[in-house]
Homo-oligomer: A and B are copies of this chain.
Amino acid sequence: MTASTSNFSTRERILGVAEVLFARHGFAGASLRQVTSAAKVNLAAVNYHFGSKDGLIEEVFRRRLDELNRQRLASLAAALARPACTLEDVLDAFIRPALEQSMDSAGGAAFVRVLARAYAEHDERLRRFLADNYGHVLREFVIAFARLLPGLAREELHWRLDIVAGALTYAMADFGMIKRRQEVSEHSHRDMTIRHLIQFTAAGLRAGCAHA
């Protein structure tokens, strides 16, 4: 049981490497030859295991999204179970799992960039895929937010949640100009990001509401 990557199956090695290379060079920019060479597997293995390059791309998404969905729904349920559940609690359930996935061992950091890139690619096929996997999760959150912001019209709430999603996506992909300083650990930098995002978006969501 060494830490050598050779312990993982060909299939898993391909997925891990593809995630990193897609994040770095894009779906079109990373070739299957780069992927299979870096994963130290044969070129033909991709077609054998995933059928095509598109099949590989889809599997890269599915593997991480299943886990993220699970965590978000669990955190939301935990928040709602609390007697005095606040807007900040629900925002935390939405934001924290996404940002924490971006600091788990290696792959997660790559994946969030892949995800952000998928948005940028504006590919309708991928958007539909994401909507199918994320749709019900988002709806649960909309319900929770609506309960905590009773003074807000439904359409107004949708506009604002869209802005929250934007700020989160940007932060997940580490687009921002704020560089982590040497003396701050990656872990606490991530915590600060989460804290600032929650504080900012909570205020934005409450804008114009008497108190909430």
List chain A positions with a Cβ less than 8 A from chain B: 23-29, 113, 116-117, 119-122, 131, 138, 158-160, 162-163, 165-171, 173-178, 192, 196-197, 199-208
Report yes or no: B163 in contact with A200, Cβ–Cβ below 8 A: yes
Closest B residue to A160 by CB, please name it. Answer: B200
Closest B residue to A171 by CB, please name it. Answer: B166
Which of A119, A138, A168, A174 is the most central at the interface, judged by chain B CB atoms within 10 Å of its CB?
A119
Report yes or no: A166 in contact with B175, Cβ–Cβ below 8 A: yes
**A76 → B minimal CB distance (Å):** 18
Report yes or no: A170 in contact with B169, Cβ–Cβ below 8 A: yes
**Copies of the protein in its oligomer:** 2
**A78 → B minimal CB distance (Å):** 25
Closest B residue to A205 by CB, please name it. Answer: B200
Alpha-carbon gap, A207 to B131, bound state (A): 32
Cβ contact of A120, chosen from B28, B120, B163, B196, cutoff 8 A: B120
Which residues of chain B come closer than 8 Å to A23, judged between CB atoms? 122
Cβ contact of A196, chosen from B25, B159, B170, cutoff 8 A: B159
Which residues of chain B come closer than 8 Å to A120, judged between CB atoms? 26, 113, 116-117, 119-121, 173, 175
* A to B CB contacts below 8 Å, 17 in the list: A23-B122, A25-B28, A26-B28, A26-B121, A159-B192, A159-B196, A162-B178, A163-B167, A163-B170, A163-B196, A163-B201, A166-B170, A169-B170, A199-B208, A200-B204, A200-B207, A202-B207
